[in-house]
Amino acid sequence: MSKIPTAPEPMEIDIQGMTCASCVARVERFVKKVEGVDEVAVNFANHVGTIHHQGLAPETVIKAVEAAGFQARLRQPVRATSPQEEAQALRDHEATAQHARRELIGAAGLAIPVILISMIWHLRAEWVNGLLLLLSTPVIFYFGRQFYRNTWRAARHGSTTMDTLIAVGTGAAWIYSVYGLLAYRGHSHAQSEHIYFEVGAGIVVLVLLGRYFEARAKSRMSGAIEMLMGLAPKTATVLRPDGTEAVVPIDQIVAGDILRLKPGEKVAVDGTVLSGNTYIDESMLTGEPQPVEKGEGAHVTAGTVNQTGSLIYRAERVGAETMLAQIVRMVERAQGSKAPMQRMVDRVSGVFVPVVMVLALLTAAFTFWQLRSLDVALMRAVAVLVIACPCALGLATPTALMVGTGRGAELGILVKDGEALERAAAIRTVLLDKTGTITQGKPSLTDFIVWGTRPRAELLALAAAVESPSEHPIAQSVIRAAQAENLAWPEVEDFESLRGQGVRARVQGQEWYLTSPESTAQFLALGSDQMVQISAMQAEGKTVFVLHDGHLAHAMIAVADTVSETSAEAIRLIRAQGLRPVMVTGDNRLTARVIADQVGIDEVEAEVRPEGKAQIVQKHQSNGAVAMVGDGINDAPALAQADLGFAMGHGTDIAMETAGITILRSDLRLVPLAVRLSQSTLRTIRGNLFWAFVYNTVMIPLAALGMLSPMLAAGAMGLSSVSVVLNSLRLKRFA
C-alpha cells in the first residue's frame, strides 16, 4: 500500500473545561473571530479542537480559547515511534474516570445521610438541621466545586454553560436553606419545612454519577486508536556499519538505517527488504487473513508481524511518516470531525442555557404568583435548571461518530470525516473502475501473436522496451513476460503516454507504438484476419494491444487480468442494499462485457478515457448520489467529482487523498460494508438526537409543572447523557 498522504496540517488543540454543547459553540465562535482561521470544529466527545488556518501561531488560537473561558494546549502529532507515550495519552480517559469515581464516592458518603435524614425525619431538632448543613456544604462546594469554578470562569467572559445551570440550582437551594435555618431559629418544625440541603447535595451526587458513567463509556470509545497504537514495537535491532547489532528504541531509528527482523518480531518501521525471505502477517492492518510472502525488494510495513523467516531491511519511513502512524492520524481526524447535522445542534446549544435560565425565572415567578409559596417556586425553578442541561445534545453526534469511525478502522475502512460518513449513507449508484478494483490489477500477458516475418523474441523485446518507462500494470505484464524469456531490450530515447490509447516510444531511432485496436486505426488499417483474431481475444475478456511502427502492424498482444475472488459477492451485496453498480473502464465494450458478466454487473461504461470518467460520474449524478471506487491517478478526477470517493488501499497517494473513504485491503466487499456502517452510524446519530430533543421537550414542562423533584431531574439528566453514550457504543458490535 502506498503512503497515505496528509493535507497541509491543521492545528489541533486539547481544550479543558468544556461541559456541554454550549461550551463548544462558544469556543468555536471565539476562534472563528481570529484573523487567518478558515474553519474550526470542536468535538465535545474528546475535547479536541481542529483549526484549519493560514499559518497561525498556536499561541494566537490558544489565547482565543482562553478568552472564551477555557484552557487549551497544543495537541502533539501522532508519533507511532513512541507508542508508550501515546498509550499514556489514551489512558487519560481511564484516569478521568477514576478521578470521577473518587469524587463520586466522597460526595455520596456525605450526601446519602443528608438525603436519608431529610426523607425519614421530617420534623427534626435544630441540631439535626445544623448537621445537615455541615454535611451538605462540602458536597455542594467542594465535590461540586467544578460547577462553580466553571460558572465563574464563563461569567467572567459573559457566558453561560451547563455548569451554570447546576451551580445556580444547587447554590439557590443551599442559600434558601441557610436562610431558613437562620430565619426560623427556635422553631425547629418550621425550620425543617424550609430546609432543602438534600436537594443541592443530591443533585451534585447524581450529576457526578452521570459524569462517572459517561467517563467510563468514553474510555471505551478510543479502543480502535489504542489497538492501532499498540501494534508498534518498542525496540528494533539495528545493524551497525561495523557489523555489530544493537537493540534500540524505535524513536531512535532514522531513514536509511539497516534493520534485522527476527522470527516472531514486529516490523518497526516502513522499509524495503534487502535480503532474506519470510511470510509477514498483515492482518492487523489490512484484515488480509493469509500471511504475505516477502523477499528482496518487497515493502514491509510497521506494526505487521514476521512469521518464521528472517529479513534484513532498510528503514524508509519512520515515526509519523509510517503507514501505521498515518492510519492512526486519519482515524483521529475522522473521530474529531463533525457531521453536517451537528452544526444545527451547535446552533441550538449556543442559545440553550440562557433560554433555560429565563424559563426557570418565569417558572418561579408564575408558581409564586399562583401558589404564593416561595418554597415550591424555588424547587420548580431548580428542577427546570437541572433537567435542561444540554449534555445529551452535545454528545449525540460526536460519540456515534467516534465509535463508528473507530469500528471502521478495525474493519479496514478509513473514513476521512463526518461529512464522508453522511454522504456514504445517501449513495444510490456505485461506479467501479475495472482494473485493480473489480480485477486484481495484476494482468499477465497471455498471447503474443506475430504478424509478419520478424522474430517473435525481437518483437517481444521491442514491446518491453516501449513499455519500460511506464508503471501501468499492463506495461509491467509485458516486461515480466520478456524477463521470463531472459530477453534484453534497448534503451528508450523518447517516451509518451497516449492517454486512454496506449504508448509511443523511440527505440534505436525508430518510432514504435503499442496502442489499442481502436487507436491503431488512426495510424493504419488492420486486415480482416487480424480483426478476427482481435475479436476472438476480446470475446475471452482479454485486453488487446497492437505493436506497430505507424505504418505496419507487427504483432498483437493480449493481456488478461483475473477477477478478484470477492468481486462477485461484493456486487451482490451492493445490489442487496438497493444500490446500482456500474462498471467504468477504458477497455472496449466486448472485453468489458465479459468481465461485467463474470461479476454480475448489468450496466457498463466502456471505452472511457481517463478524462472522461468525471463526465460519466456527472451523468449518473442526475439519478442521485454517486460513489466512485478506484485506485489510480487516472481515477482522481472522478473520485473528486463523485459525491463520495472510495480509494482501494493498494492504490496511489493521489487517489487516497481525493477519496472520502479508503479501503485498506483489496477486498471490494468492504465498499458495501462501509455504506452499511455509515447508515448504521447515521441511524445512531439520528436516534441520539431524537431522544435528546424529546427528553428536553418533555422533561422541561414536567419540571415546570412540579411533576419532577430537583433530585429526580438530576437523575434523569445524568441518565440521558449516559444513555446516548451507551447507544453509540452499540456500534462497536457492528459487523
Rounded Cα distance between 203 and 703, Å, is 14
pLDDT tens digits for range 311-356: 999 999 998 888 888 887 777 777 667 777 766 776 676 677 788 8
pLDDT at 710: 81
Distance of CA 670 to the CA centre of its chain: 15
Question: Kind of pairing, strands 580-584 and 603-605?
Answer: parallel
C-alpha cell at 728: 453509540
Q: Are 276 and 312 in contact (CB under 8 A)?
A: yes
Between helix 340-371 and helix 418-425 the angle, nearest 10°, is 100
- In the chain, which residues have pLDDT < 70? 1-8, 76-93, 122, 217-227, 284-289, 335-336, 342-343, 346-347, 349-350, 390, 632-634, 649-657
- Whole-number Å distance between alpha carbons of 138 and 114: 12
3-state secondary structure of 297: coil
Query: Considering 346, 417, 433, 643, which one is annotated as catalytic?
Result: 433
- pLDDT at position 90 is 55
**What element of type H or E holds 663?**
strand 661-663
- pLDDT for position 656: 59
Cα 668 to Cα 549: distance, rounded to the nearest angstrom: 39
pLDDT the model gives residue 190:
72
Cβ neighbours, 10 Å, residue 330: 21
Residue 299 burial (CB count, 10 A) = 16
Show Cβ contacts of residue 311 under 8 Å, excluding neighbours closer than 6 positions.
260, 261, 273, 274, 275, 276, 277, 278, 294, 300
Name every residue whose Cβ is closer than 8 Å to that of residue 442 and which is 6 or more positions away in sequence.
473, 477, 561, 562
Inter-residue contact 338 to 397 (CB < 8 Å): yes
Tell me the HSE value of 690 on the side-chain side, using a 13 A CA sphere: 7
Q: For the chain, how far is it from start to end, CA to CA, in angstroms?
A: 24
CA distance 348 to 679: 25
Rg (CA), the chain: 33
Q: What is the pLDDT of residue 293?
A: 85
Residue 392's pLDDT is what? Answer: 75
Whether pTM > 0.75 for this model: the answer is no
Q: How far apart are CA 483 and CA 491, in angstroms?
A: 15
Tell me how far the alpha carbon of residue 167 is from its chain's centroid: 36
With residue 548 as reference, give the H or E element that holds it.
strand 543-548
**Beta pairing partners, 645:** 628
Q: What is the torsional sign of CA 197, 192, 358, 156?
A: negative
Residue 579 has what pLDDT? Answer: 95
308, 263 in Cβ contact below 8 A? yes
Active site residue 631: no
Compute the distance between CA of residue 7 and CA of residue 474 in angstroms, rounded to an integer: 31
Nearest residue to 251 (alpha-carbon basis) of 78, 88, 91: 78
